[in-house]
Amino acid sequence: VILNKIIDALNKRSDLGGWTVRHQLVRGSQVYAVPNQTEALREVGIEQYRIDVLRHTSTAEGKEGVGSGNATLLPGGDIESAIERAVLTAGLVANPVHTIPAPAPLPDVPLVDAELQRDPSSVTKALMEQIQAAAATHRDVQLTAAECFGEIHTTHLVNSRELDAEQEATQVNIEFVLHSRRVDTDVESFAEMRRRRVADLEIEHEMERRARCTLDQFEAAPAPAWHGPVVLRREALATFMGGGVLHTLGSAEAKYAKTSSWEIGKSVFRHEVKGDPLTVWANRCIPFGISSNRFDQEGLPAQRVELIRDNELVAFAASQRYADYLNLPPTGAFGGVEIPPGPTSASALLAEPHVEVIQFSWFTPNSITGDFATEIRFGYLVENGVRKPIRGGQLVGNFLDALADVHWSAETGMLGSYLGPHTARFNELKIAGQDR
């Protein structure tokens, strides 16, 4: 009802060049556990109407321009004053002319866990019990904290070009901590995962892996100084690829702002490529991908956009606005990162010697230069037939230089916002660690 009233009010305005309304609804359940008890149980609801408007304006030099404004209305809010606020704001600026998306067929991207959609409260509680049961099978570690969020996100988007689209998606977020103590030494592993479906969390498998890492930390030595092959697998690889460099440099917005020097048809690398050639898709169609959707915030349909083919930039990920500015096809939001399977088996990529990083403290590369220096929370030094646990030290390098000398596995996996080889061997990375 409110959405229709907003649309009616917007349609009555004669001073608008376009408008979009997005009704967003979130309902969810949260369970928090501390040792031996439930810390908190929460039921949560969020609802809002985001209104975006465009107005025809003119620049100080008299050139034709467009201004944009927005307002977000909460249930019970005053529709007229929210629209007026957005319209006033739009009248204050004169940007190059741009438009809003026209209606287009929407792909049917699977985004829903049916059980979670039906009963988030029960599913979230059951998930917490599953985590607790899986942890209990590992006698040498204790689950000292866990959080489970189950949410249903509903979006209804309508714009002045008669685009009218709806989508529903589920999301499950978990965190847990495994702890172990021997004499006066404490160790822990912290896991954090986000998926659309509960089954994709693979709780038992993940718990097994984390329990092993937790106990291996008792033997961990400081990371050594290292210059050579570094292997990333599964979550660590997904973290690395999702660090934001591809998203920034591959975006039309960054190109327009001159913070990306990438050019279509040219190599994205500054040096010779020594490893497997790089191909990347910006993909919003990954089934149950955490960055997937049927349409993005502007209403642009989900696409699988070939961003980079054999090291050369093919396209920028472009919202309607920046597509109009740069005369590019609009692709919409970036979505997840997809890499094609590599030519080498994962087992071959694990050849000695190498360092495997299991978990970063926080991988935060400079998204414009690609430079990074990130602490290794936990990993292994693999040489001479020994897999030796390590922690501390910093992995140091440049994201693009690293991708110019990498070999990808033939085996793939879907890890939230990443679909592609589940193992990568970077041939020449540096670790700032203790002298050997």
Partner 1 sequence: MGKNNVRYTSIILHLQEASMTELRLLPDMAELRSSLGDIVDRGQQLAPGFRVLLSSKHGLTIQIDNREEHVVEAAPSAGTVLSAFDGRTMYERAVVGFDREKVQRAAHDLVRETVFANYTPADESAQRGDFITPMQIDPADLSVQEKLDRCRELHRRVTGRDPRIVNSQVRYVELSEHSVFASQSADLAQRIQRVRLFLVVIVAGENGQIQYDYISKSGGAGWEVLNFTEEEIEKLVESAIALLNAERIEPREYQVIAAPGVSGTICHESFGHGVETDMFLKERARAAHFIDRIVGSPLVNIVDDPSRPGEYGSYFFDDEGRMASATQIVENGIFRRGITDFYSATALKIPRSANGRRQDYSRKAYARMSNTYFDAGTSSLEEMLAQVDQGVYLDKWSSGMEDPQGWGIQVICHYGHEIKGGRITNRVFSPIGVSGYVPDVLQSISAVSTGLRLDAGTCGKGHKESVPVSSGGPHLLLKARLG
| Interaction residues for partner 1, span 165-204 (CB under 8 A) | 173, 175, 177, 179, 186-188, 190, 192
Instruction: Kindly identify the residues of this chain, within the stretch 122-151, that bind partner 1 according to CB under 8 A.
Output: 142, 144-145
Please name the amino acid found at residue 185: T
| Eight-class DSSP state of 318 | -
Beta bridge partners of 383: 386
State which amino acid sits at residue 285. C
Binding segment (CB under 8 A) for partner 1, from list 156-164, 271-279, 292-300, 425-433: 425-433
Q: Does the protein bind partner 1 through residue 364 (CB under 8 A)?
A: yes
DSSP state of 199: G
Within 197-236, the residues that bind partner 1 by CB under 8 A are 225
From candidates 125, 256, 309, 388, binder to partner 1 by CB under 8 A: 256
Calpha distance 142→207 (Å, rounded): 11
SS3 276: coil
Our finding on whether 433 is near partner 1 (CB under 8 A) is yes
Q: Contacts with partner 1 in 262-321 (CB under 8 A)?
A: none
Q: Is 341 in the site for partner 1 (CB under 8 A)?
A: no
Cβ 76 to partner 1 shortest distance, Å: 6
- Residue found under tokens 């890499």: 339
Instruction: Indicate the length of the chain as a whole number.
Output: 436
State which of residues 115, 371, 401, 428 lies at the interface with partner 1 (CB under 8 A): 371
In the bound state with partner 1, the residue whose beta carbon lies nearer, of 58 and 345, is 58
Binding of partner 1 at residue 44 (CB under 8 A)? yes
Minimum CB separation of residue 75 from partner 1 in Å reads: 6
Asked if the peptide bond before residue 353 counts as cis, ω within 30 degrees of 0, the response is: yes
From 1, 61, 62, 76, residue interacting with partner 1 (rule: CB under 8 A) = 76
Q: Is 424 in the site for partner 1 (CB under 8 A)?
A: no
Strand order in the sheet with 312-313: 312-313, 304-309, 280-283, 336-338, 418-421, 412-414
CA distance 32 to 18: 44
Structure tokens at 396: 């140091």
Size, binding site for partner 1 by CB under 8 A: 74
Residue 108 in tokens: 């049917």
Q: Is 38 in the site for partner 1 (CB under 8 A)?
A: yes
- Closest to partner 1 by CB, 109 vs 207, is 207
> Candidates 9-17, 282-290, 392-400, 410-418 — which segment interacts with partner 1 by CB under 8 A?
392-400
- With contacts defined by CB under 8 A, name the span among 47-55, 116-124, 162-170, 299-307 that binds partner 1: 47-55
Least distance to partner 1, CB of residue 348, Å:
30
Is the alpha carbon torsion for 116, 119, 121, 127 positive or negative?
negative
| DSSP state for residue 287 in the 8-state scheme | T
Contacts for 119 with CB less than 8 Å, ≥ 6 apart: none
Among 35, 329, 341, 343, binds partner 1 (CB under 8 A): 35
The half-sphere exposure of 314 on its side-chain side, counting CA atoms within 13 A, is 14
Token pair 């050019």 is found at 263
* Contact residue for partner 1 among 2, 9, 13, 47 (CB under 8 A): 47
